[in-house]
Amino acid sequence: MKEIIVNKLSSGQKAEKFVRKYLSEAPLGFIYKAFRKKDVKVNGRWVDKDHVLQEGDVVRIYVTDQQLDDFKKPRPVTKQDLPYPIAYEDRGVLIVEKPKGLLVYGDATGVRETLGNAVLDYLYLKGEYDPENAAFTPSPAHRLDRNTSGLVVYGKTNEALQELTLLFKERTKLHKRYLALTVGDITTDGTINTPLWKDANNGRVYVRPIEQGGKEAMTKYHVVRRYGDYTLVEVELITGRTHQIRVHFASIGHPLVGDEKYGDFASCRLVKKLTGLESQFLHAYKLIFEDVGGALSELRNREIVCALPADLRKVIEQLTAKGAQ
């Protein structure tokens, strides 16, 4: 039998989710069976899987020592400072400036160097995460592609993560802005309202009418500066489809500089030769929070900004030596 006291970070979770995270390697069937067999107690009483836990609750999971060894494998962490800039932090939220080329999550290769692992190391150092006694793991409320730099938002508590996830889903009190360098001269601001469809087999996204399976997708953009052959735009996502910015700008004949997946291949070769850039020029540079409350109240009416990184500024300089219009 294992006894765990619910801390503030885990408060508000359903019992099933708490047990699943604590026994992270256990098959889902094992978790469900534990509840059916009444092998989970809270404060001395049997509970069902939908019971909501509160801070200070005592959870008892009736499993053998061998099952604990098999099913609870703490994520390897070490106490160390965060090697990436922190744009904002309070009791429940951490916003980090992710560099281009870094994964937010691990992948099938088991890569250790991810933003998520670095964040856990940092919170372990601060005493805000304990891998040996953590049914809740601080996690990002959204994601960025590996080769997109910029702001990534983490919930340090379950309450904050739930509220952040809802904000990113609803997009009414939280607004995201990106900076993108596009191929060609864009002369005016505009809106791209074109449905998109993702092919799960190859991971690519295509323009496709809604009646043929496409999903509504809308992107607004503002011209920041024109450089003749290139244009720097500020982009606002109204919807949040996979690769939306990249596919939308390619669909209007202005693909992102360096985008080998959806872009102009001749342009990519030229850009790589001139600057060494091997991926899309896209940077998540601003988050605008409106009248948020609850666990996010300290973010009310705040703007969090992450400046364009030096390597991307250098790309602009190298590509626009002739000067802007």
Catalytic residue numbers? 145
Say if residue 294 is exposed, middle or buried (CB neighbours under 10 Å; 0-12, 13-18, 19+). exposed
Cα–Cα distance, 187 to 178 (Å, whole number): 18
Burial class (CB in 10 A: 0-12, 13-18, 19+), 98: buried
In the numeric block, which tokens belong to residue 268? 């990519």
How many CA atoms lie less than 13 Å away from 140 in the CB half-sphere? 21
Tokens of 284: 């998540």
| Pick from 167, 154, 158, 166: nearest CA to 118 | 154
